[in-house]
Amino acid sequence: MHHVLLIDDDQPLTALFADFLRQEGFRVSCRHDGASGCELALRQQVDIVVLDIMMPGMDGIAVLRELRAQGTVPVLMLSARGDAVDRILGLELGADDYVAKPCPPRELSARIKAILRRTAVLQVGSPPAAMVVGSLTLQPERREARWLDQPLSLTGIEYNLLEVLARHAGRVVSKRQLSEQALGRDLERFDRSIDVHISSIRQKLPRQADGQSRILTIRGMGYQLLKD
């Protein structure tokens, strides 16, 4: 039973989400302020945090900063439709995905399951072989990435995206493919989450000798990871 932590000051909405998720087979904990939610997330073993951005006191962005400073627990952000800047900031700080409020409980559950699948929380079976692309090595069974034997600090979704690009190294991968294979959902119109995550990965990968990124943007088509 996977443990979901809901952090949102909207108590009726949180109760609605919690009831639905429990029916879906999740263990659910709820906190209605950022400080106590952050404390619980760091103190207990939770599989995913669903985190509202707009909260009094310690808001969702501050909670996310603290969580990312101390670990890699998957984080799904909840945001009002007008909070585009905060959504992008959340992704840049390492959130795995976001959902705009109001959000149907079924969609929230589907997003949670997609993130858990992609971060291997729900996966079982034989460990896949390591992937090597030039100086980059990916260990799918441990979800680790290394460059010349130095670890790369990636969030869950960043690892997913890099793995998809590595599997198609030297070829262009469309944003639709990346969304489906790395985020576990269809690409939505005006969704910039892929671009934000790719930008973060670029900052963590060493650049080429000429200073250019190892991940190319192919306008109108997608992204390409160079083989070397």
pLDDT tens digits, 161-213: 999 999 999 999 999 999 888 877 778 777 788 999 999 999 999 999 899 99
Residues 85-132: tens digit of each pLDDT? 777 888 888 888 888 888 899 999 999 998 888 776 444 444 567 889
**CB count in 10 Å sphere of residue 22:** 13
With bands split at pLDDT 50, 70 and 90, how would you rate the model's confidence at 7? very high
Strand partners of residue 30: 6
Residues 40-83: tens digit of each pLDDT? 999 988 999 999 998 989 999 999 999 998 888 899 999 876 56
Q: What stretch(es) of the chain map to CATH 3.40.50.2300?
A: 3-118
Fold of 3-118: Rossmann fold (3.40.50)
Q: What stretch(es) of the chain map to CATH 1.10.10.10?
A: 131-225
Buried b (16+ CB within 10 A) or exposed e, 153-188: ebbbbbbbbbbbbbebbeeebebebbbebbbbbeee
The dotted CATH code for 131-225 is: 1.10.10.10
Whether the CB-CB separation of 187 and 175 falls below 8 Å is answered with yes
Which pLDDT score is estimated for 122? Answer: 44
pTM to 2 decimals? 0.68
